[in-house]
Amino acid sequence: MARNHFDRLDDSSTEMKHETLDDWTAERLLRGALPPDDAPPGYGAVATLLEAARTEVRTTTATATDGMVTAMVAAVRRGGVVPRGRRTRAKVAAAASAGVLALSGGMAAAGALPSTAQQQVSRALAKVGIEVPGRGHGEPGSGSHTPKRDGSHDNSGPGSPTPSAHDDNADPAGGAGTTTNHGDCVSQVAGAGGEQVSAVARSDCGKPPTAGGHAAQSTTPAQVKPDSKPQPTPQGHDGSGNGGITSPPGSGNPARPAHESPPPATSAGHSKA
Amino acid sequence: MALSERFDEVLQAAQTGAPWALEAIYRDLHPIVLGFLRHRAPNDAEDLAADVFIGVAEGVGRFRGSEARFRSWVFTIAYRRLADLRRRADRRRTEPIAAAVLAEHTPVGDAEHDVMLAIGTRSALARIAALPEAQAEVILLRVVADLSVDDVARIMRRRPGAVRALQHRALQRLARELPGGP
């Protein structure tokens, strides 16, 4: 087999002895397609050794499978769906959207958006059960409410002897014209005396909208500032002694937004009229 | 190997995170990945192998190709993990085996076949691992991982001709060192 002049075993050039191992033979040797007996002289042991190495790894059983598979499942979900760049962009977009929504929602709740925007936001939020004024600041109808969905029946409880006070058609001050406040409402019917004055006094005429979404139905919209605070009076105008701000007992928390209020007993409240 | 005919089905399921498919991949490839790593980084082989399969799971959703390509891709990950480990550890490029250890595995006598049986498989891999690093890696990837010259060249970022030269030298060296060799 020796094909050169180097015979010493410790000579590094002894590798040259096997330089004639052609690619095809080497390939068969490495693929395990060359039995030791068929191997070129000197390579029988190599064929045996490679086969032994091949056997060892293929008879080994994978260990710790359960924990590893669980980790792999998590890794697939972590890395296999969205490329990292997209994930980052999605997070940025989500954060920006949340910021815009929070800002516009806050402004809408204050009725501070321009009319069109206010209406859009109001409609959008109404779909998810959040009531905000439907018109912009200073616009007609600002501070109005949607009486069928909100807590406009706060006064329909026992402490509210004029349950129809919020009904436009039933408002005794309906013909009172423009008023700036509840006092004006009452003043305008002062001459009528007795029952009518009492009824108007118990109504919400001229009152600013409450947290439950109430608004004075008879007031001129332009005269009502949406951000104006209701002024509690020592003696409530609704007869409940709450200054028109708080609800009568049993009507729920007036400070609670309309969408958080329990469903109003509309027919019952109005039937008292 | 075990996947063979079911490979496409297994791959598709694995890409959706199906545990059974990921387990099939793991069971099929873990032994050979570990076998490769064990002889390149004995102390870290288990951890490296786990790391490799996490990497496989993270990237399997984007993999496209045949089973052979998949195997090559898995070993590419293994090889890179190994390289990372070496960089971190700043190890020497070779891990020489003490002469006493080699002598323990060196058989005496002339009967090649009987001697090799006496050596056993573990020493067979040890002998391969004792080759110079590049030669050992080529032989392990070709024999243990059952990869082609082109796959090994891609993994090791060498030319196919260079890989062939390495495997030739490795085989010659083994032949020289083993009993019955010239």
Determine the pLDDT at residue B64.
92
pLDDT at B158 over 50: yes
Could you give the 3-state DSSP secondary structure of residue A12? helix
* Tens digits of residue pLDDT in A107-129: 556 666 556 556 665 666 565 56
* Tens digits of residue pLDDT in A203-216: 777 666 554 444 44
- Written as six digits, the tokens of A216 are 């004075």
Range 39-78 of A in CB contact (< 8 A) with B: 41-46, 48-50, 52-65, 68-78
Per the document, the length of chain A is 273
Q: Among residues of chain A, what percentage have pLDDT more than 70?
A: 23
Indicate the pLDDT class of residue B103, thresholds 50, 70 and 90.
low
Query: Read out DSSP for chain B?
Result: --SGGGHHHHHHHHHTT-HHHHHHHHHHHHHHHHHHHHTT-TTTHHHHHHHHHHHHHHHGGG--S-HHHHHHHHHHHHHHHHHHHHHHHT--S--PPPHHHHHHH---SS-HHHHHHHHHHHHHHHHHHTS-HHHHHHHIIIIIS---HHHHHHHHT--HHHHHHHHHHHHHHHHHHSTT--
Report ipTM for this prediction: 0.77
Determine the pLDDT at residue B96.
58
pTM for this model (two decimals): 0.48
Indicate the pLDDT class of residue B105, thresholds 50, 70 and 90.
low
B62 vs A: CB within 8 A: yes
Mutate to test the interface with A, among B27, B30, B172 (most CBs of A within 10 A): B172
- Written as six digits, the tokens of A47 are 């064929």
- The number of angstroms, rounded, from the C-alpha of A33 to the middle of its chain's C-alpha atoms is 64
Determine the pLDDT at residue B40.
86
pLDDT at B176 over 80: yes
Cα B24 to Cα A96: distance, rounded to the nearest angstrom: 42
Query: Which residue type, as a one-letter code, is found at position A55?
Result: T
- Are A154 and A247 spatial neighbours (Cβ–Cβ below 8 Å)? yes
Q: What is the mean pLDDT of residues A233-247?
A: 38
Mutate to test the interface with B, among A68, A81, A87 (most CBs of B within 10 A): A68
A106 vs B: CB within 8 A: no
Determine the pLDDT at residue B97.
58
pLDDT at A190 over 70: no
- Written as six digits, the tokens of A159 are 């402490």
B144 vs A: CB within 8 A: yes
Q: How far is B89 from chain A (nearest CA, A)?
A: 25
A104 vs B20, which has greater pLDDT?
B20
Indicate the pLDDT class of residue B124, thresholds 50, 70 and 90.
confident
